[in-house]
Amino acid sequence: MIPRLTTTSLLHPPPHFVLSPPLKPFLPPSISLSAAPTTDTGLQFRRKLLYLESLNVNSIKALRENPQFRSSSLQTLKSVENCLSSFGIPRSSLGRILDMYPQLLTSDPHLHLYPIFDFLINELQLPFPDVSKSIIRCPRLLVSSVDLQLRPTLLFLRKLGFVGEHRIDCHTSVLLVSSVENTLIPKLEYLGSLGFSEFEVVTMVLRSPGLLTYSVENNFKPKVEYFVKEMKRDLKEIKRFPQYFSFSLEGKIKPRHRLLVEHGFSMPLRDMLKVSDGEFNVRLLEMRLQLIDRL
């Protein structure tokens, strides 16, 4: 069993860090829209709705989840677009992001958005072109607190070993929105419970960071159960090929395993899963022909 990892030292950032102001609280969706203060004329409100339509943002959802939208000026909305666009986020992606998180529509770029971009560029040290890639891949970064979420998680991941060639980049920055205590550590502990040492678990997640994004209940457990009970293989194979967890159990693992069993063959996990369907079938045919030649 992997020793329990603690984050006491990580959850308190060094004193020289400047903490960005927290996001302004938003009214809960249950509050009636008619109760929201407004100075909009009908024409101004219509212009805002047309603006949302131009971005492919669901205006009904925006009004329901962000009542402040009704009383905000069109210029406030456009200031958010200008901020995100200045960091390379295209308009097509902008609409998807704002539709996912309507609270961003009325956010103050200087209080809510620039601190996040500052963190990504100066603390995470992402190259400027990769900043937009990170946001597009994980829009939730834009609604995460720098000092309560992003920075503590980055410090934990760096202590775990995500430095140097394994440093967090635009592909793995999605890990920053995960809870250390409730998400990352339980996954590490589950992998340790399979009999892997702490060093082996860390090596696995550094080789395949996606492991830290998979569900223990919906991914790890059913795949381990099938691997042990049906495939009857040694878990050491997973240590050598942790990418096993990234493949669909129903769509790839089971069908390919059954084909191999049907013909009396076996393959290393990497050869079994990391090739296309066409290449897998070719290899299976070659194995069958080799078997016939030996008869």
- In CATH, what number is assigned to the domain containing residue 89? 1.25.70.10
Total-model pTM: 0.79
With residue 118 as reference, give the H or E element that holds it: helix 114-118
Query: Is the residue at 226 inside a domain?
Result: no
Distances (CA, A) of 229 to 2, 172, 222, 243: 23, 32, 10, 19
Nearest of 158, 217, 208, 206 to residue 183 by alpha carbon: 217
The count of structural domains within the chain is: 1
Q: Give the residue numbers spanning the domain of 123.
A: 37-177
Most distant CA atoms of the chain, gap in Å: 87
Within a domain: residue 283?
Answer: no
Confidence of residue 176 (pLDDT cuts 50, 70, 90): very high
Given a cut of 90, whether residue 2 has pLDDT beyond it is no
In a domain, 31, yes or no: no
Residue 189 lies in a domain: no
Name the CA radius of gyration of the chain, rounded: 24
Q: Which residues contact 271 (CB under 8 A, 6 or more apart)?
A: 283
Q: Is residue 166 part of a domain?
A: yes
pLDDT in tens, 6-57: 444 433 444 433 434 444 433 333 333 333 444 547 888 899 999 999 999 9
Residue 295 pLDDT class (50, 70, 90 cuts)? low
Asked whether residue 124 is assigned to any structural domain, the reply reads yes
Residues 169 and 227: their CA atoms lie apart, in Å, by 31
Evaluate whether residue 43 is within a structural domain. yes
Amino acid (1-letter code) at residue 36: A
Q: pLDDT at position 235, please?
A: 93
Question: Picking from 9-23, 61-75, 121-135, which range would have the lowest pLDDT averaged per residue?
Answer: 9-23
Runs of H (alpha helix) within 119-211: 128-137, 151-160, 185-193, 198-207
The tens digit of pLDDT for each residue in 104-114 reads 999 999 999 99
